[in-house]
Amino acid sequence: MKTNIKHLMKLLLISIMLSSCSDFLEEVPPTFISTPNYYQTAGDARTAVDGIYERMRVVYSRWWMGIDMYTDDLVSRTAGSSNFNMMALHTTFPSAGLFESTDVYSAWWEGIGRANNVIANVPAIDMDEAEKNLIIGEARALRAFYYYNLVRAFGDVPMVNTAVLTEADFMKPRAAVDDIYNEIIIPDLLFAGEHCSDGLHDGHITKWTAKLILSEVYLTRAGMRRTSQGVFVQGDASNYALASEMAKDVVDNAPNSLNIVASLSAVAYGTAWDKATPFTSESMLEISYLPVSGYGNWMSRESRGWTRGTNYWGSDSSTPLIDEGITGDLYDLSFPSTPNVGTYLPTPHLYDEFEDGDERRDFNIMTRYDDGEGNTYLCQPMFRKFMDLDYLTGVDGTSFQYTNNNTILYRFADALLIYAEAQNEADGAPNAEAYEAVNKIRNRAGLADLVVGLSQEDFRNALWKERRCEFAGEYKRKFDLIRTNRLTNSTLSVNLDWTPDQDAVTTFRNTYSLYTGSVLWPDHEWLWPIPQSQLDLNIENNWEQNEGY
Contacts with 318 (C-beta within 8 Å, 6 or more apart), sequence order: 329, 330, 505
DSSP annotation string for 277-332: S-S-TTEEEEE---SSTTSSB-HHHHT---SS-BTTTB-TT--TTGGGT----TTT
Contacts with 166 (C-beta within 8 Å, 6 or more apart), sequence order: none
Give the span between the Cα atoms of 296 and 292, in whole angstroms. 6
Give the span between the Cα atoms of 351 and 381, in whole angstroms. 9
Torsion angle (degrees, nearest 10) of CA 481, 483, 489, 493? -20
On the CB side of 264, how many CA atoms lie within 13 Å of its CA? 10
The pLDDT, as a whole number, for residue 401 is: 82
C-alpha Rg value of the chain to the nearest Å: 23
DSSP annotation string for 444-488: HTT-PPPPTT--HHHHHHHHHHHHHHHSTTSS-HHHHHHHTT-ST
Contacts with 101 (C-beta within 8 Å, 6 or more apart), sequence order: none
The pLDDT, as a whole number, for residue 271 is: 65
Give the span between the Cα atoms of 501 and 512, in whole angstroms. 21
Give the span between the Cα atoms of 260 and 520, in whole angstroms. 40
The pLDDT, as a whole number, for residue 492 is: 87
Q: How far, in Å, are 224, 309, 323, 416, 441 from residue 247 at the CA level?
A: 20, 41, 48, 7, 15
pLDDT in tens, 418-451: 999 999 999 999 999 999 999 999 999 999 999 9
Query: What backbone phi and psi angles, to 5 degrees, belong to 292?
Result: -130, 135
SS (HEC) of 175-230: ECHHHHHHHHHHHHHHHHHHHCECCCCCCCCEHHHHHHHHHHHHHHHHCEEECCCC
Give the span between the Cα atoms of 404 and 276, in whole angstroms. 11
Give the span between the Cα atoms of 508 and 510, in whole angstroms. 7
Peptide bond into 346 cis (omega under 30): no
The pLDDT, as a whole number, for residue 491 is: 87
56: helix, strand or coil: helix
Contacts with 180 (C-beta within 8 Å, 6 or more apart), sequence order: 147, 150, 151, 157, 159
Q: Residue length, the chain?
A: 549
The pLDDT, as a whole number, for residue 171 is: 81
SS (HEC) of 384-435: HHHCCHHHHCCCCCCCCCCECCCEEEEEHHHHHHHHHHHHHHHHCCCCHHHH
The pLDDT, as a whole number, for residue 34 is: 59
Task: Please identify every stretch of the chain with a pLDDT value under 70, giving residue numbers as ranges.
Answer: 1-36, 262-271
Give the span between the Cα atoms of 312 and 505, in whole angstroms. 6
Give the span between the Cα atoms of 367 and 379, in whole angstroms. 5
Q: How far, in Å, are 121, 140, 141 from residue 192 at the CA level?
A: 17, 7, 6
Query: What backbone phi and psi angles, to 5 degrees, belong to 206?
Result: -105, 170
Q: How far, in Å, are 172, 341, 448 from residue 440 at the CA level?
A: 47, 36, 10
Which H/E stretch holds residue 377? Answer: strand 376-383
pLDDT in tens, 467-506: 999 999 999 999 999 999 999 998 888 889 999 999 999 9
- Cβ–Cβ < 8 Å for 67, 478: yes
- Cβ–Cβ < 8 Å for 121, 127: no
CA-based nearest residue to 286, from 112, 197, 410 = 410
Distance of CA 531 to the CA centre of its chain: 21
CA-based nearest residue to 172, from 531, 546, 534 = 534
User: Which regions of 8-131 does DSSP assign to beta strands (E)?
Assistant: 16-17, 32-33, 74-75
